[in-house]
Structure 1
Amino acid sequence: MAPLLLLLALTGLAVAAAQFPFPPPPPPPQQQQPTSASDAAALSAVFRQWGLGYAATATTPPPEDPCAKKVWFGSLARNASINCSCDVSFLPCRITHLNVTGYQNLTDIPPALFSLTELVSLDLSNNNLIGQIPPGIANLSKLETWHFNNNQLNGSFPNGSSGLRSLQSLWMFDNYIEGTLPEFIANFTNLTDLRIYGMKLQGPIPKNFSNLINLEKLMLGDLDGQNSTFDFIANWTNLSTLSLRNCGITGQLPNMLSILLPNLTYLDLGSNNISGSLGQLPYKDLSLYLGGNNFSGNLPSEMVQSSRLMDVSYNPFLNGSLPVSPGGQKLSINYIGTSIDASRTTNSENLALLDCLRMKGCKSFYKSLITSCAVNCGGKQTTYPDSLPNIFYDDTSDLGAADFHINTDGQWVVSHVGSDPLSNSSDGIVSTSQGILGTDTPELYQTARTSQSDLWYYVVGLSMGNYTVQLFFAEIVIEGNFNNRTGRRSFNIDIQDQNIKTDFDITKEADGFRKATNITYEATVDNSVLKIHLYWNGRGTHAIPYEGAYGPLVSAIRVFPPEIPPNNSPPPARPQAAPHDNKRRGVVAGIAALCIAAAVISSSVVYLWWKWVSLVKHPNA
């Protein structure tokens, strides 16, 4: 009976399987397509020249297929990777993306790079590439992203790059490329992100840049040569970020700026020569950086909002008054160096001090003048009894993206302007708990004040005369050493309106990370104010170890009279004679000795001769 039942069950299963078939087993996974032989050979030549461990040679294939490996090294600070297109099943994969960033030993651009003709993205930023951009860049006609920023490239833009009509993102900042800003960039009408600054280019900004109607981010800066105007501004409805810092722009703001740029959220026009009123600017929630110009007239009260970051500093002809913030909220506005009346928001002593900074007379403000001052930038008050001055004042005020702080004794002022336009980062104060090498006062270097644009320190109420200015530095953010690092900070330093450092690199100066280094400078004060200006010059890496990590950084400031030896100091050492003087004296002494010896011998001979004559004449004597 049991065999019969088993037979019936198997028969039923067979019938069911015939009526309701099971799904077929999944096909075996499709094998990765190989990389195009020409692309693999070109990548092998490039990586072999760069020493990135890709072991293929002309006769030996690579140990791994490039499009299967893809990533050689990947991190925020250092990256070596590719991406490929393998969409068409019967064709080999083509390399479409190449990213090699953060390698300081990379100096040359291999010719084989321009054989990767399917590239749509090429990022070689944050290396140490030197020389001119090879004309072979014209072979990469499909490029949409081209980032060569933060290298040491020089020469001019190659004319061959004028054919890269597919470009959408072009970053060429922080190099030594020179010449005029190329007009052919206006032909890259697909551009959405254009950043060119921190180089040696000259203006003017070409008028035909108005053709770039798809721009979302435009950052131009540090242009010498001829002045520019705003006639390249067009109806850029997609533009959200516009930075034209230090471009030599003259004239007035366009009448229809708010209509031409309806979606603008960040505007930096700092350090130009723009005049006229601010009435043409949009009054919505827009970050405004307008310092270092010649704007005049009244500051529109509707522009000043508690939610807005705003810098109008160093516009001496700008006046008006600050409104009282609703609810007592603090206004994020820097208006040092203007004629704005802040009597409703600032106490009378601070107003008198601001007049002092405008050079309207400091002597009447101070009952007694000072001869020394010190600030612990970014840190708490610290006392050193054996130093002069012995108190390093607290400098921990949060200045946001645009503000200033006057210390309680009215002896010094700090002014800050700057935020990263893309990350909204404005740390202001940075610190570390790790040790600092090369100093017996490490606590001074464990905190610092920093900025993405400008830091001003004023020591006010100083007696007229000469002073020693000491600036204290230690790099505590961008880790690495001078010879093998992935990030780099660079900024300029002015004291009393005189440039004393250009492209100052703390790590290079100190020969390492978290190492102390100082600058000492002798300055003259003839109007009771000492000015120290540290400012970003468009150079240095921007996102290592985080977005916005760039711009000036200072740990402490010390100002004191030049050291004078005390009254009981020992007399200066007698100056030593020069070698030729010693030789001459030796010769003279020798001659004198010979003369004396000759005189003695002559005298002896004469005496003996006289005695002999006497004996001959008087033998019985």
Structure 2
Amino acid sequence: MGRWGLTAPSEWNISGEPCSGVASDNSDWDNYPKDPAIKCDCSSNDNTICHIIKLRVRKLNVVGRIPAELQNLTFLQDLGLGFNPLSGQLPKELGNLTNLLSLGISLDNFTGELPEELGNLTKLEQLYIDSSGFSGPFPSTISKLKNLKKASDNEFTGKLPDYLGSLTELEDLVLRNCRISENLETVDFSKFAALTMLFLGNNSLIGTLPDVISSSLKVMNLVANNIVLGSTKNSDISTRGSDNTIYEADATNLGDASYYVTDQIRWGVSNVGYFYQATDRMDIIYSSEHFQTAVDSKLFETARMSPSSLRYYGLGLENGNYTVMLQFAEFAFPDTQTWLSLGRRIFDIYVQGALKEKNFDIRKTAGGKSFTAINRTYTATVLKNFLEIHLFWAGKGTSGIPTQGYYGPMISALSVTPSKQTCYINFNVGYIGSNFTPTVRNGVPKKGSKAGEIAGILTGASVLGLAGLFGIFMWIKKRRTMAKQKEELYNLVGRPDVFSNSELKLATDNFNSQNIIGEGGYGPVYKVVYFPQLSDLGKLPDGRVIAVKQLSESSHQGKSQFVTEVATISAVQHRNLVKLHGCCIDSNTPLLVYEYLENGSLDQAIFGHSSLNLDWAMRFEIILGIARGLSYLHEESSVCIVHRDIKASNILLDTDLIPKISDFGLAKLYDEKQTHVSTGIAGTFGYLAPEYAMRGHLTQKADVFAFGVVMLETVAGRSNTNNSLEESKINLLEWAWDQYEKEQALRILDPNLKGFNKDEAFRVIRVALHCTQGSPHQRPPMSKVVAMLTGEVEVPKVVTKPSYITEWQMMDGNRSYVTSSYSGSTTHEFGRQNEIEPLQQSPPIIKAGR
């Protein structure tokens, strides 16, 4: 730990003894929320000697090499060092850890080949080395790892070694995105008797997939290879219809507002809605009944349900005409009495946005029978390599309180096939020509002017010709740029809806200024007042009100950055993040389409003119929700994101007062292999961490600092700076520390709070002060912040006031070098405090909120 500059958490380093506290108790290792972490076994020598058996140092930006001293932990069973910028070669001394059962070093920055000494780890069951920088093939000594159950790597080269088949315990083999060149017909898959998961996508594999790979195989991904499917009938991977169509499995349970893309990247599925009084979170239902009229009965043994809106997306399709077949069978209603008492399942069906079935009733269409298969066939035209099928429940059919499983869309299988009679070729002929016909005024030219007129005509024609050619060139260049940007967007996996400029012009009443609800980092934000082909104002087909964010021409963010933001936002979906519905890039100013959150921003709710009257319980849940959203951005999302502009006006509240982090205009992708990002300052005074304001040193801890300020604002019911107050209270952070040192921290609470949990309030204030420590290393990661807020982890004692506050107090009383034009002034987000443009040089010390 000392080599890496880490300090042992107090929970397992009691009185200087590492093997104490949670390190030696019965707490759950897998669900322990902290890093670093150790686990000890103190049973040796009549419980007098302790040995470290588990060590985890993940996602802590640990820099350097693995110290050789690690080989002394010979009792180690579990070693996790992933998600750090560790470098150098993997020490061969790791081969001395012969008791090791699990080794995880994914997403590090090692070099060279794997050492042969890894073959000494004969007890090893799990090996995770994805994206760790290693080169070359696996060493042959890996064949000694007879107990290996899980192996994962994406930098392996060469061929699949023969000895993999001798690893008879192997259950999960993941070698995707490698450089494997292999003919699958030469691989004896029969040796992989225990294999349940096989991922070999994005390699250079060829040949025909064998009929039988493993009887226990459940999940397989061979996407992006040159492989011909054999006649495998492994139903856990896919279901084959009677017409030899392979149906890819759709067995993932979705959340209240979530989506996923299948491993083959052929289909995307999204679900919106929550089953009222749901007894479980299952949206896949099963039946073992025999289905009438079903040629392929197996297709109807499962069905996906949704309480509101269910969408399927066909991805990467060639443009042309397709036949869409949807297959249904009602089996949630087992008998007539239940059917009559609960109502009917009625929903609408849209294909490519066109209404195909209004008030579709599965059971009625099947002649009033359950367990009877029916299908619906439609034609659809794909123009942008993308197909959408939307099943939407509009609230009809259920007269009583809706019960889980007895209302909303339900579907068993679907298929999309090219129309057999149609040949289609994308062939666009563009003809651009110019026909200059010079004209002169009527009458006889004056003597001597003919040569001049001819010269003038020729000159004019030349100028017009050059101008025309230049215009054509610029037009073609613009078209190509736009086509490239659209291609980038359409290639996004799980991409959002793409709106046309004409749709959004109608929706915003031609971007009428009266519909502006605020000004964000991209420019004005409009609330939709009309949408084409709809009778309801301000609604999308599935009942959503939307906010359209228009990229202003004066914005520093161009279209390429716009596409980057779309990719970023599309990749992250969370309950506490503002949902991106779609975008538009065919207008002069690109547009983003967000969910509209009618309760506005947090700054309006706590120190604006809102009538929400937030009590303590509401404020605490808002704080906790923001923390969870940031924890997702920093530590759980597939891409690690630093927001850079966390503030009260960038937190929006939905109808249930659930907080959602907005405005990713300043978000910057953060490379986990770097300790920080050196960047121009971009943020808002009052929320800037000292290291970011002074040196442009950006890490996740800058967001943690800003969140600490937002926490204090939320509990105090005021902005971080208020020049109308007495001198000692102008700066909220300074005042909070003053009251904390006087053991009167609760005095900073909003006087409008009539009742609150004092212990909980004091804990929130302590967490906020912990988040706003001067050194980023002293601030906790957001996952720990969540644990501290919920009481799962004790809040460490805040020892001293940060030095930057002491420096403020030692200054000559100069509180005016930052103007008050932004102090506490906000508008709805879509309304904001004044923002800082990127600085060309490091500024002097900037007081938070001054």
| TM-score normalised according to structure 1 size | 0.48
| TM-score normalised according to structure 2 size | 0.36
When Rg is computed on C-alpha atoms for both structures, the one with the higher figure is 1
Between Structure 1 and Structure 2, the one with more helix by share is 2
